[in-house]
Amino acid sequence: MTIQNPTERTQKGIHHQTELLAAAAPEPGTLFEASWRDYIFAEVWTRPGLDRRSRYLIAISGAASAHGAVDMLEGYIRGALTLGELTLSELREAVLHFAVYRGWSQASVFDRAVTSVAKALNLPPASYAPIRAEPWDPKVRHAEGAANFNTVMVFPGPPPVTAYFEGGIINFVFGEMWTRPGLDQRARRWITLACVADSASDMPIRSHVYSAMASGDATREEMHEFVLQYAVHGGWPRASVMQGAVLAQADRVAKGLPFEP
């Protein structure tokens, strides 16, 4: 095994931190700051198992969920826009998707960060499709939501017996939000996975980990990389829950089994 050089790792970290955040990497003044350069950017972000666009979506969602991480959130957004990994329109869609899984209050921090970076980069406002432009039949929207739940989750949705199931999950989340054209389904998966990981809620974690792989939107190997990338902002304990879910659900997907016994 080749002996690794700490100086080379530091130089690698400086290069990637500068590139990924689209700003010169400052000289770290603390051990914590040095760990971003020498570990997060030098080692985690440079792993080959997951594309950079996906890593941005995971990192942005993680930073948006972490109270007080606005500087890093804006850095990720600036880097993603500068490198062309995400467009301003896609980021606006990402905020709405994030709002469903982390709440509108937390998403307001994300939305303001996007606005701040867009202004700093002198970007014109991004156009967006309205939530729904034409009149609709509630029965049709419900039927479409139920069908899209099955498509996205790869199993049937809940019965419309509560306001949360009917008005929340079926009518809006899958009847409108998941079907919006401004962001592809794979991108929506990473945002969802990062958010449910932060929730530490068993059913959403198991179901979304399963559906990400069963749908073909993410491979087993990519999901393992997701866990490490998520851990940067979510922390190792929460990431360990996701790692356990990935191992268990990857096995069920490989065997053609449903997401739960």
Going by pLDDT thresholds of 50, 70 and 90, the confidence category of residue 1 is confident
| Alpha carbons 239 and 234: distance in angstroms, whole number | 7
pLDDT one-digit tens code per residue, 68-122: 789 999 999 999 999 999 999 999 999 999 999 999 999 999 999 999 999 999 9
User: How far is 226 from 223, CA to CA, in rounded Å?
Assistant: 5
**What average pLDDT score do residues 123-130 get?**
94
Q: What is the pLDDT of residues 182-214, one digit of tens each?
A: 999 999 999 999 999 999 999 999 999 999 999
141-162, pLDDT tens digit by residue?
999 999 999 999 999 999 999 9
- Model pLDDT, residue 132: 87
pLDDT for residue 4? 86
> For residues 95 and 126, what is the distance between their CA atoms, to the nearest angstrom?
13
User: How far apart, in whole angstroms, are the C-alpha atoms of residue 210 and residue 247?
Assistant: 10
Q: For Cα atoms 26, 32, 34, give the angle at the middle one, nearest 5 degrees.
A: 45
* Chain centroid to CA 75: 16
Alpha-carbon gap, residue 193 to 89, rounded angstroms: 21
CA gap 12, 126 in Å, rounded: 34
**pLDDT per residue as tens digits for the range 33-78:** 999 999 999 999 999 999 999 999 999 999 999 987 899 999 999 9
Residue 220: strand, helix, or coil? helix
How many helices (DSSP H) and strands (DSSP E) are in the chain?
12, 0
Does the pLDDT of residue 261 top 90, yes or no?
A: no
For the chain, report the end-to-end CA distance as a whole number of angstroms: 43
| Cα(118)–Cα(93) distance, integer angstroms | 14
Distance (Å, rounded) from C-alpha 87 to C-alpha 90?
5
